[in-house]
Chains A and B, each alone.
Chain A
Amino acid sequence: MAAGELDVRALGMQFEGLSALTDVSLFVPPGEIHGLIGPNGAGKTTMFNCLTGFYKPTSGEVWLSGERIDGFPPHVISGAGISRTFQNIRLFSNMTAIENVLVGSHGRIGGQTGFHVPKRRREWLRIKGRFSPRHVPKSLAAGLVEVAGAIAQPPTVRRNERDATERGKRLLKSVGLAGRENAVARNLPYGDQRRLEIARALATGPRLLLLDEPTAGMNPQESASMVALIRQIRDEFETTVVLIEHQMRVVMGVCERITVLDYGRKISEGTPAEVQRDAKVIEAYLGTRALKDGGHATP
């Protein structure tokens, strides 16, 4: 199994009788830029929430790089290599750019002062289990060591922090935010906030990057530079990318393959050209013009 391979098998998500996703399967080979499109309410964002562990899928399986990851809490899945951005940007708005990125790299900063995040599902399985008094002394000791480490700052901790900061600066440079390290996130211009969110997602060391409408609210020039950035990221960080997008110009331009959802079901899959010709897709979008003109596809 190659790193970054996403294999979603018959995923279902029900909310009290309402089926948000039904039997959706999806295979994305490593390094592919894959588009997830569909009318509003088709289940695209629900899909992202299931992949990141924010929702627990009610049926089906999610495999990443040959490991089954569904059913685990978000911080474990993050450690397993999935990271995302949001349609409405969700930065830590009171923190600086570099701090946002450092939060992203939380699970990767070694040393004693971290909240321990299992890198892999296996490890999680090992430490998981219901609360038992037997674990209290051990976890208490771990907590003490953590707090003590944070206060005493032994050399390893300081070195790790320095390395993480260096890495964070390089990441910010990669997304075009060099020199903005100490700007408070909420004061950054909109486009820069999007870039910062991507940098923060990359800081978790993802093998699969989920982008939820990365060009929302952008003009054509900004969209074009975002498309270039997405390609650059895929090449530079060797991640698989799945993106939700409404701007067809972006989808058709950057995605190698596309999956179309409608009412929580997969209705089509293929290259942009194939999907564009698919009668079911055209029907789902009603406004067939939208696809052909490369305009905004939301009905």
Chain B
Amino acid sequence: MTVIFLTTAEFWADQFVNGLTTGSIYALIALGYTMVYGVLQLINFAHGEVFMIGAFAGYGVLVAMGGDDISGAMIALALVLAMIAASAASMGTALAVERIAYRPLRNAPRLAPLISAIGVSVFLSHLVDDGFLTGRSKYYPGIFPDGGFDIGPMAITYLQMFLMGASLAMMAALWWVIQRTKLGRGIRAVAESRDNASLMGIDVNRAIVVTFALGAIMAGVAGVLYGLYYSAIRGSMGFIPGVKAFTAAVLGGIGSVQGAVIGGYFLGLTETVGRELLNEIPGVNLPNQWKDVVAFSLLVLVLIFRPTGIFRQKEAKRA
């Protein structure tokens, strides 16, 4: 029996591009999970909210600069400023959370900081939703020029291009900082052995703070990209992307920086293309939400069969 695809090559090419786009957002967020896990063996469940705060800070800048009326060269400036503000706000949030909710529990049983993390996560999302927005969403101004171009069967919008380009640039910068600078060397040393790093003259607390900061910068930029792409933002928006990014980090092997990036793209593609593949089965017509089912099924399967990640190396290379 031959499988008959009811859809065209263009359709699959579109799905591929969509998958890469969401995947790059997952990858950016996943980096924060994996790096913090690398140095602290802590799942920072408030990271989704760090991402959310970034989205709001970016929104604030765009609105302050004129919202829908921003045009021309001002668009580039507005985007840069929005990302800087988002990174700063996310960083401030992450550092405050680290100081208030995690550091006092550094030597407590491992469950304690985890519960603390979940608490912070719920607190932040409700603070924004119920404290400031009273249940309404905000909408990113649609400043990005419409249109795009084709590469073979793939139609890529300018916005998608920008998303992928910006996230790749951020990830390249992060990789460079981790691999090639003193700052990154300190983080890697702490990830391999906190005690040993400390004996080498590294201030471990400082290294941990910097790790949170770098992860938050990535999340802040991801927040702006998310807002530009999906438009609606709200206090609870961090939850699903947060858990997805966590899934991506686990897929790639938590603690591994390369793994988080690969896992992010892999998850983005799988959930987008995966749902459509299921839809190819005659009689099946799954709505969009099923991509979450695909993603989390993947998480469960990986946790059962490959808990160290599907791209398991002999020894996961830490942050």
**Chain A 111-127 per-residue mask, 1 if CB under 8 angstroms from chain B, else 0:** 10111110000000000
- CB interface residues, B 166-218, toward A, < 8 Å: 173, 177, 181-186, 188-189, 192-193, 195-204, 206-207, 209-210, 213-214, 217
Tell me whether A103 and B186 are in contact (CB under 8 A).
yes
Tell me whether B199 and A92 are in contact (CB under 8 A).
no
In the complex, residue of chain B having the shortest beta-carbon distance to the beta carbon of A203: B200
- CB interface residues, A 53-79, toward B, < 8 Å: 54, 73-75, 78-79
Tell me whether A115 and B200 are in contact (CB under 8 A).
no
Known contacts A78-B201, A204-B201: does B181 contact A115 (CB below 8 Å)? no
State the CA gap A151–B175 with chains docked (Å): 11
Q: Which residues of A contact B182 (CB under 8 A)?
A: 102, 106, 109, 111, 113-114, 150, 157, 161, 164
Tell me whether B192 and A115 are in contact (CB under 8 A).
no
Most buried by B among A92, A93, A146: A92
State the CA gap A32–B213 with chains docked (Å): 45
Q: Which of B193, B207, B210, B217 interacts with A90 by CB under 8 Å? A: B193
Q: Which of B181, B200, B210 interacts with A104 by CB under 8 Å? A: B200
B315 contacts A by Cβ under 8 Å: yes
Most buried by A among B202, B210, B214: B202
In the complex, residue of chain B having the shortest beta-carbon distance to the beta carbon of A95: B188
Q: Which residues of A contact B234 (CB under 8 A)?
A: none
Tell me whether A147 and B183 are in contact (CB under 8 A).
yes
State the CA gap A111–B192 with chains docked (Å): 24
B312 contacts A by Cβ under 8 Å: no
Tell me whether B200 and A150 are in contact (CB under 8 A).
no
Tell me whether B203 and A147 are in contact (CB under 8 A).
no
A140 contacts B by Cβ under 8 Å: yes
Tell me whether A115 and B203 are in contact (CB under 8 A).
yes
Known contacts A94-B315, A143-B213: does B207 contact A54 (CB below 8 Å)? no
B95 contacts A by Cβ under 8 Å: yes
State the CA gap A54–B318 with chains docked (Å): 24
- Within the complex, the shortest CB–CB distance from A116 to chain B, in Å, comes to 7
Q: Which of B184, B188, B195, B317 interacts with A150 by CB under 8 Å? A: B184
Q: Which of A107, A109, A113, A115 interacts with B207 by CB under 8 Å? A: A115
Q: Which residues of B contact A164 (CB under 8 A)?
A: 182
Known contacts A78-B199, A103-B200, A150-B184: does B189 contact A92 (CB below 8 Å)? yes
Q: Which residues of A contact B188 (CB under 8 A)?
A: 92, 94-95, 99
Q: Which residues of B contact A153 (CB under 8 A)?
A: 181
Known contacts A102-B185, A147-B214: does B206 contact A116 (CB below 8 Å)? yes
Q: Which residues of B contact A52 (CB under 8 A)?
A: 199
State the CA gap A164–B182 with chains docked (Å): 10
Tell me whether A151 and B200 are in contact (CB under 8 A).
no
Tell me whether A90 and B196 are in contact (CB under 8 A).
yes
Known contacts A75-B203, A78-B199, A106-B200: does B317 contact A147 (CB below 8 Å)? no
- Within the complex, the shortest CB–CB distance from A128 to chain B, in Å, comes to 12
Tell me whether A73 and B198 are in contact (CB under 8 A).
yes
Most buried by A among B182, B195, B317: B182
In the complex, residue of chain A having the shortest beta-carbon distance to the beta carbon of B192: A92
Q: Which residues of B contact A246 (CB under 8 A)?
A: none
Known contacts A94-B317, A106-B186, A150-B177: does B203 contact A116 (CB below 8 Å)? yes
Tell me whether B198 and A74 are in contact (CB under 8 A).
yes
- Within the complex, the shortest CB–CB distance from A231 to chain B, in Å, comes to 24
In the complex, residue of chain B having the shortest beta-carbon distance to the beta carbon of A86: B196
Tell me whether B209 and A143 are in contact (CB under 8 A).
yes
21 pairs from A and B in contact (CB 8 Å cutoff): A52-B199, A54-B199, A73-B198, A74-B195, A75-B202, A75-B203, A84-B199, A92-B189, A103-B186, A103-B189, A103-B197, A107-B201, A108-B201, A109-B182, A115-B186, A146-B183, A147-B213, A150-B184, A151-B177, A157-B182, A204-B200
Instruction: Give residues in B with beta carbon < 8 Å to A.
Output: 92, 95, 99, 173, 177, 181-186, 188-189, 192-193, 195-204, 206-207, 209-210, 213-214, 217, 315, 317-318
Instruction: Give residues in A with beta carbon < 8 Å to B.
Output: 52, 54, 73-75, 78-79, 83-84, 90, 92-95, 99, 102-104, 106-109, 111, 113-117, 131, 140, 143, 146-147, 150-151, 153, 157, 161, 164, 200, 204
- Give me 11 other A-B pairs in contact (C-beta within 8 A), A114-B183, A143-B95 excluded: A54-B199, A73-B198, A84-B199, A92-B193, A104-B201, A107-B202, A114-B182, A115-B207, A116-B203, A117-B201, A117-B202
**Top 9 closest pairs, chain A to chain B, by CB:** A107-B201, A78-B201, A115-B206, A150-B183, A74-B198, A115-B203, A150-B181, A103-B189, A92-B192
